[in-house]
Amino acid sequence: MSLGETVRAIRLEQGLSQKEAAEAAGIDQSYLSMIESGQRRNPGARIVARLAKVLDVSIDELAARAGYLSNPQLADPLSQRAMRLFRRLPRWRQEDVLAQLELYLERQEVQSEERRVA
């Protein structure tokens, strides 16, 4: 999938019109249309960064979904969703969520070990 196709797919997933996304990114709708249709293949790092922000994805996620990065973790839709939600939390809440996740995993390991011993 090309960068433009990826931008369009994510934009539609987010429920944004082309006009809304373009305005939020500070670009003309016609320019976004050219990016999405493949007429403008290299929009530049600043434009890509603005689009990624509007689409609520990291630049790495956008690049991975477009096939520029070969990191399967970034291309996994569940991981992308989790990261989008996680980034929306305030820093103190992110730390709390991580602590809870670590505690959960530790408990799972202990329970697994107890089952092996029993």
The CATH number of the domain where 44 resides is what?
1.10.260.40
Per-residue pLDDT of 18-55, as tens digits, reads 999 999 999 999 999 999 999 998 888 899 999 999 99
Number of domains into which the chain is organized: 1
The answer to whether position 62 is within a domain reads yes
The answer to whether position 28 is within a domain reads yes
The answer to whether position 101 is within a domain reads no
Least confident of 21-30, 58-67, 72-81: 72-81
Cβ count near 51 (within 10 Å)? 26
**Is the pTM for the entire model greater than 0.75?**
no
Q: Give the domain extent around 7.
A: 3-75
3-class secondary-structure state, position 105: helix
